[in-house]
A and B are shown apart, each in its own frame.
Chain A
Amino acid sequence: MSTFSAIGEEREIDRDEYTPGVEPQPTWCPGCGDFSVLKALKQALPEVGRSPEETLLCTGIGCSGKLNSYLDTYGFHTIHGRSLPVARAAKLANPDLEVIAAGGDGDGYGIGGNHFIHTARENHDMTYIVFNNEIFGLTKGQTSPTSPKGHKSKTQPHGSAKEPLKPLSLSLNAGASYVARTAAVNPNQAKEILIEAIEHDGFAHVDFLTQCPTWNKDARQYVPYIDVNDSDDYDFDKTDRVEAAEMMRTTEEALYEGEVLTGRFYVDEDRLSYGQEKRQIGEMPEEPLAERYWDDDYDWERSYDQFVDKHE
């Protein structure tokens, strides 16, 4: 029997398998967009054939971090902003795992922004879902990196003087090879995009608009939305980074004018993932490193045999 027999097992997976026995019903506020992320993941994972025990979900801190309590997989609820470095190392240690990271807009674009840029740059083969509600929810309604300019809150009493961060453009420039935006109110598109993101061999960034009915009452419910890949009003090639960049810019500006544009903005299927790049230059083993520790026949190297002679 393999060490990790959950990985690659051929069987039908029921979406109920992802529902935990404790807290099967999430405690997010009624009407919260986060429910949609959970639902879309429960639909997408069985469809791509990844079971709870071959999936590692790493989250940050915030309402989004609760996802780990409501989606029953191997989970790592990390610390604020740090889901990505934990997740990408797990992927390097065992590339056979399905690794998904998730967090909020404060978590991913604020405190964890450096990790976001570098994980995208390195193009790790993983999915990153950002619950973007343009507000800090769990800490009760402070202005976030994606809150619109002029947004008033207890920590920005005169209205934010800052332009909001442009997550799609940032992601593209940093190097993500799949960039999409979906919205909680669009469950079919959300599921389809998550399926694509999980199946994509590289860093797939999904900016998931999740309305916050409690702390962001002024904000739109992200309706009506337009799928830019289906709309006749927009015509661009999502495999062309220049056209993608322009479409992203339009989308990011439109959001603050009340127009919700969603869809796949950039897809590069040719770029090698980070693991593939590292293997090509001989800096990562072909077999998952995590397997080696269970291989009774592996002859572990000793510094005495390998390295000390040069010190003689």
Chain B
Amino acid sequence: MTDEELIWRISGGSGDGIASTSQNFAKALMRSGLNVFTHRHYPSRIRGGHTYTEIRAAADPVDSRGDGYNFLLALGDSFARNPQEGAVYGNEEIKPLSENLDELREGGVIVYDEGLLDPSEIPNFDERAEENDWHVFPLDLRGLARDMGREVMRNTAGVGATCALIGMDLEHVEDLMRDAMPEKILDPNLEILETAYDQVREEYDVDGVDVSVPTGEHEETQLLMSGSDAISYGAIDEGCRFIAGYPMTPWTEVFTIMTQNLPELGGISEQVEDEIAAAALAVGASHAGVKAMSGSSGGGFALMSEPLGLAEMTETPLVLVEAMRAGPSTGMPTKPEQSDLEHVLYTSQGDSQRVVLAPGTVEEAYEQSRIAFRLAYEYQIPTILLYDQKLGGELKNVPKSHFDREPNPTLGKTLTEEELAEQPHSADGKFHRFQHDVEDGVTPRSIPGQKGGRFLATGNEHDPTGHISESPDNRVAQIDRRTQKLEAIRADLDTEDTSSYAGPDDAEYGILTFGSQQGTVEEAVGRLNEAGVSVKSLGVSDMLPFATEEVEAFIESVDEVLVVEMTASGQFRGLVQKNLGRYGEKLSSLLKYNGNPFEPAEVVDGFEAAIIEGDGDASDHQTTFVPAAGD
């Protein structure tokens, strides 16, 4: 754990501006020289319902949510107060102050809106505050906002009060407000910010507050970016200029970012009737010679199974993104989980011939979005970028230079008309688009409209011209060729740096994880080593073709391995065993599926309970331990 860290939680109702306020405050902290990481919790509801964002800020790098928090700004759920909606919202109105109050650290600060929240509704609030040495500041944020502007500006009052209490200069907050707000609302907001700041400093002894803003410095310009931003920018830098989609949480973020940016780039975005159409449009656009993508979340992705298989069979380059949320069915739409792993690997009839990558961080989301497009087009294969609500929505600072890279708009193995003329054709002039014997299994393609390139793309098994064929010899040749591409892709991926390691090479124990839990696991590994436990971690991204050799070497190098994932059935552990064919006795699982991502302490405690003490569950956490086979 970083000693000097601020974990600021802003809580209120959906629609109260929690997301935008926290984004700006995170940016202000980043601009002040700190590293930041946000964790977002929200209900599937338009108005009202408890929502919060935590911003973790420290001078040292932060790649995970923290353990609990040390500052709570409880704005109150303004929509839960609607008298007509009382029955619907029930007891939600006190939640911004009461929810997870146990997780507020000793010596922590509470600022709450006394106009909206009444702590007497929380059992033993005063006693708990005293026991934990919490510093409690009831402020009339709403009243202040109303007097100087509008009630909704109480967010600003809360930020002003925060700055006063943690000793943060208003400069960066004010700069951001000037950038973002039109003049009409800027002036009252600035006034509210400064008034709240001054009032707190005048009326309270702020020197007695233990929580203060850390100080740090960046060596280069930083960007505050989400996984969804990074995926979108990766696609754009690979020359993707076509997206088709249908709204679904949390994939909508990528769809929206792409849609807002594509017209400026002369690209096309299509919001269509359903996800079957969305994926089919991406196939059609790609077939016609444009770099194209689509995507969805669990249920919508299920509808894409058929077009996905069509892209496999017709060898149409295609990138799909799948933003996982808790399932099955509608599940918990706004809560993260990693349980679509098997769905994405195996959905659609026949043997899977696709690539699946699961980036672990915002930086990797950018890189692997680019890799996904490169592989899809070079190898003419659908590639799926698998991430989740956590990675898609969390904000993190990334050096600006990370994005300073050349674009790669190439279509892969396509032919000019001059080159096409040299290629094998049938007597009737049909181009042999699907030749049997080619290097790496990739047979060059033509684009409709090219002279000398006509062929048939079909979901049926087909001969070299694309003509439907059920000849056994042709069938075997085509399947083998398409499968050969996966071997070539595996070798190609070995030249990319998609995996992430933490901890000493010669560690005694290992933790294996995939996708978005990587940063949290790596923080836990750091803490465990500081506490004298010899452990290292491997965060895997290559799900298909699987990073078999790398994972095997990792498992071989340690005595025992804990597999950490957000599924209930241990899907990733199953994938490891399927690909490696053994190690059942060496792998145990730490699972979490309650809708919240792991905290570092849960991994630390879970590891200690599972591996060191060997008796399983860390019972004060909502995680589940599954022992190794034979244990």
Q: List chain A positions with a Cβ less than 8 A from chain B.
A: 1, 3-7, 9, 20-23, 52-54, 56, 58, 61, 68-69, 72-79, 82, 84-94, 96-97, 114-115, 117-118, 278, 282-285, 289-290, 292-294, 298, 300-304, 306-308, 311-312
Q: B202 at interface (Cβ–Cβ under 8 A)?
A: no
Q: Contacts of B524 on A, CB cut-off 8 Å?
A: none
Which of B333-341, B446-454, B500-508, B565-573 lines the interface with chain A?
Answer: B446-454
Chain A's nearest CB lies how many Å from the CB of B236? Answer: 5
Q: Which of A53, A88, A93 contacts B290 (CB 8 A)?
A: A93
Q: Is the beta-carbon distance between A117 and B273 smaller than 8 angstroms? A: yes
In the complex, A38 Cα to B269 Cα: how many Å?
34
Q: Contacts of B244 on A, CB cut-off 8 Å?
A: 85, 89
In the complex, A97 Cα to B290 Cα: how many Å?
14
Which of B37-45, B119-127, B422-430 lines the interface with chain A?
Answer: B422-430
Q: B141 at interface (Cβ–Cβ under 8 A)?
A: no
Q: Is the beta-carbon distance between B280 and A82 smaller than 8 angstroms? A: yes
Q: Is the beta-carbon distance between B403 and A89 smaller than 8 angstroms? A: no
Residue of B with least CB distance to A300? B407
In the complex, A77 Cα to B313 Cα: how many Å?
11
Q: Is the beta-carbon distance between A97 and B449 smaller than 8 angstroms? A: yes
Q: Knowing that A53-B449, A86-B281 are A-B contacts, what are 4 other residue pairs whose CB atoms are under 8 Å apart, sorted by A's residue number?
A: A4-B449, A78-B310, A312-B221, A312-B400
Q: B276 at interface (Cβ–Cβ under 8 A)?
A: yes
Q: Which of B239, B268, B457, B467 contacts A284 (CB 8 A)?
A: B268
Q: List chain B positions with a Cβ less than 8 A from chain A.
A: 31, 221-225, 229, 232-233, 236-237, 239, 241-242, 244, 261, 263-270, 272-274, 276-278, 280-285, 287-292, 306-307, 309-310, 314, 400, 403-407, 409-411, 416-418, 426-430, 447-460, 465-468
Chain A's nearest CB lies how many Å from the CB of B368? Answer: 15
Q: Is the beta-carbon distance between B450 and A97 smaller than 8 angstroms? A: no
Residue of B with least CB distance to A73? B454
Q: Is the beta-carbon distance between A301 and B407 smaller than 8 angstroms? A: yes
Q: Is the beta-carbon distance between A90 and B447 smaller than 8 angstroms? A: no
Q: Is the beta-carbon distance between A82 and B239 smaller than 8 angstroms? A: no
Residue of B with least CB distance to A118? B273
Q: Is the beta-carbon distance between B409 and A1 smaller than 8 angstroms? A: no
Given contacts A77-B460, A90-B284, contact A115 B403 (CB under 8 A): no
Given contacts A20-B430, A69-B467, A79-B310, contact A308 B233 (CB under 8 A): yes
Given contacts A303-B403, A304-B403, contact A72 B450 (CB under 8 A): no
Q: Is the beta-carbon distance between A6 and B450 smaller than 8 angstroms? A: yes
Q: Contacts of B221 on A, CB cut-off 8 Å?
A: 312
Q: Is the beta-carbon distance between A3 and B416 smaller than 8 angstroms? A: yes
Q: Which of B233, B265, B290, B426 contacts A293 (CB 8 A)?
A: B290
Chain A's nearest CB lies how many Å from the CB of B568? Answer: 33
Residue of B with least CB distance to A287? B266
Q: Is the beta-carbon distance between A82 and B449 smaller than 8 angstroms? A: no
In the complex, A73 Cα to B267 Cα: how many Å?
27
| 10 A–B contacts, CB within 8 A, in A order | A21-B430, A56-B288, A77-B468, A93-B292, A118-B273, A118-B277, A285-B267, A290-B289, A298-B409, A304-B400
Q: Contacts of A90 on B, CB cut-off 8 Å?
A: 284-285, 287-288, 448
Which residue, of B264, B270, B455, has the highest number of chain A Cβ atoms within 10 A? B270
Q: Is the beta-carbon distance between B451 and A5 smaller than 8 angstroms? A: yes
Q: Is the beta-carbon distance between A311 and B229 smaller than 8 angstroms? A: yes
Given contacts A7-B449, A114-B277, contact A72 B284 (CB under 8 A): no
In the complex, A54 Cα to B450 Cα: how many Å?
8
Q: Which of A5, A78, A84, A115 contacts B459 (CB 8 A)?
A: A78
In the complex, A87 Cα to B410 Cα: how many Å?
23
Chain A's nearest CB lies how many Å from the CB of B317? Answer: 12
Q: Is the beta-carbon distance between B239 and A5 smaller than 8 angstroms? A: no
Residue of B with least CB distance to A302? B407
Given contacts A53-B453, A78-B310, A89-B281, contact A300 B270 (CB under 8 A): no
Chain B's nearest CB lies how many Å from the CB of A302? Answer: 5
